[in-house]
Amino acid sequence: MNSRLAAEIWLLSLQHLRLVGLTILIAAAIALPGAVLLARRPVARRWALGFTNIAQTVPSLALFGFLLPFIGIGERTAILALSLYALLPILRNSLTGIVGVDAAVRESALAMGMTERQILWQVELPLAVPSIVAGLRIATVTTIGTATIAAFIGAGGLGVFLVRGISMMDKPALLAGALPAAAMALMADEGLEWIERKLSPG
Amino acid sequence: MKVAMSSAILEIRDLSCELCGCTILRHVNLTVAEGETVVLLGRSGCGKTTLLKAVNGLVPAGSGEIYFEGRAQSQWDVVKMRRRMGYVIQDAGLFPHWTVEANVGLVPRLENWDAARVAERVGTLLETVGLAPGEFRNRYPRQLSGGQRQRVGIARALGADPPLLLFDEPFASLDPITRFELQRQFLELRHTVRKTALFVTHDVREALMLASRIALLRGGTIELLATPAEFLAARTPEAQAFLAGLEENWRPK
């Protein structure tokens, strides 16, 4: 492997990582507080999950197309679109974790004289942690895959290799894009699974 | 502010409750004096659990008033009030992510006791309910048997020495032998810590064994309020129904 290719793989991998990292940060920054707010509001919860569900069903390439006229091409558009996709798994899993806390546990917390805030921070969130991290894990792994499409709108990342490989029937280029992306997904999966185990209560 | 009788920890006056458009309690009157155990006995759906939950505000009182320690419920800060009422439910409802120590020390911690005092209190309470502190302090609820969990639940309810204990069918899901052990422990506890308790059950034997007085509920009203001895001689229809079940001692032929 020549050193120019190696340098390009390195550069695009970092770019890819940046896309994924910012996407997950933004999605989590919306979905986690969102889950806390929606946990006590069943009606709003149904609407929010419905919206994220719909966002999920729009093909990613089409979503890029829709966003282009408004915010143009480039990294920002890509991150916005990818964040919309990452919302659902994080929101749904966090909600499942919080709402799924045993009703008897919640009731005794309330009856023992804990305030709603104390119940949230000391009981519900700690018990929801495995579920929340699982949501982050799913979102991260899928975003690593989906982010390859960002290359189509000039946002860079490992997708650049894929675009080149497809258009020029260049197998090494395809591998140069696919292998690092796969490795990244596997590492993210393992790493977050480890965190999930570490943070599991009890 | 009306002041209830001085020896009454709890006084329920003309309480009616509605939940989801259904009347659950109708004009319930009940006074619980210091040191006594009043058992709320009745079949499923008679309103006994609702009555218990109205006492600590988990269910909103519709009309009527509940006085706790001489003060109307509406005058209490509900969080403060609940910390003065221990609460034990079926399957204990322990916090699964906390050790026994953290579970039992909950209310003292909420009341900002210092750590050393909480630790000492936890040790005392575990001994009170018959669990060796050294062995059980650091265990998690899933590492306990059903009976041990329920003991921890009782220790947690006794946490900051509340003047009133509420029990919602605490022993219903235990095997008969463990249940009997815990019932005996409950009686012992009453001698050692002299607590006032409101105890919900559908088990007439349990009611007769544990009660100072039995309040028999039917259709959201108290049909009969009697000591165990009086209950055995009672002639009201629901009391008769419960007593019939007691007398029918089934044996293989």
pLDDT, tens digit (0-9, with 9 covering 90-100), for A60-70: 778 878 888 88
Overall pTM > 0.95: no
pLDDT, average across residues B152-159: 94
Burial of A66 (0-12, 13-18, 19+ CB in 10 A): exposed
pLDDT at A4 over 70: yes
pLDDT at A200 over 60: yes
pLDDT at A102: 92
Task: Please give the residue of chain A at the shortest CA–CA distance from B141.
Answer: A202
Cβ separation B96–A107 shorter than 8 A: no
- B81-130 pLDDT, tens digit each: 999 999 999 888 999 999 999 999 999 999 999 999 999 999 999 999 99
Percentage of chain B modeled with pLDDT above 70: 95
**Average pLDDT for chain B:** 90
Query: Is residue B48 within 8 Å of B24, Cβ to Cβ?
Result: no
pLDDT, average across residues B170-192: 89
Compute the residue count for chain B: 253
Query: Is residue B37 within 8 Å of B85, Cβ to Cβ?
Result: no
Distance of residue B166 Cα from the nearest chain A Cα, in angstroms: 10
**Helix, strand and coil in chain A, % to nearest 5:** 85, 0, 15
- B3-21 pLDDT, tens digit each: 444 578 999 999 998 877 7
Task: Please give the residue of chain A at the shortest CA–CA distance from B111.
Answer: A113
Q: What are phi and psi of B168, to 5 degrees?
A: -110, 95
Percentage of chain B modeled with pLDDT above 90: 71
pLDDT at B249 over 70: no
Cβ separation B94–A202 shorter than 8 A: no
**Closest-CA residue to B231 (of B207, B248, B201):** B207
**Closest-CA residue to A75 (of A126, A172, A147):** A147
Q: How many domains does chain A have?
A: 1
Contacts of B90 in chain A (CB under 8 A): 104
Model ipTM value: 0.86
Whole-angstrom Cα distance, residue B37 to residue B103?
A: 25
Number of H helices, E strands in chain B: 11, 10
Q: Does B94 touch chain A (CB under 8 A)?
A: yes
Whole-angstrom Cα distance, residue A105 to residue A102?
A: 5
Whole-angstrom Cα distance, residue B51 to residue A176?
A: 69
Cβ separation A105–B140 shorter than 8 A: no
Residue of B80, B85, B142 with shortest CB distance to A202:
B142
pLDDT at A202 over 90: no
Distance of residue A132 Cα from the nearest chain B Cα, in angstroms: 16
Residue A155 sits in which domain range?
A: 3-199
CATH number at residue A162: 1.10.3720.10
Cβ separation A108–B58 shorter than 8 A: no
Cβ separation A110–B58 shorter than 8 A: yes
Q: Does A96 touch chain B (CB under 8 A)?
A: no
Give the three-class secondary structure for B87: strand
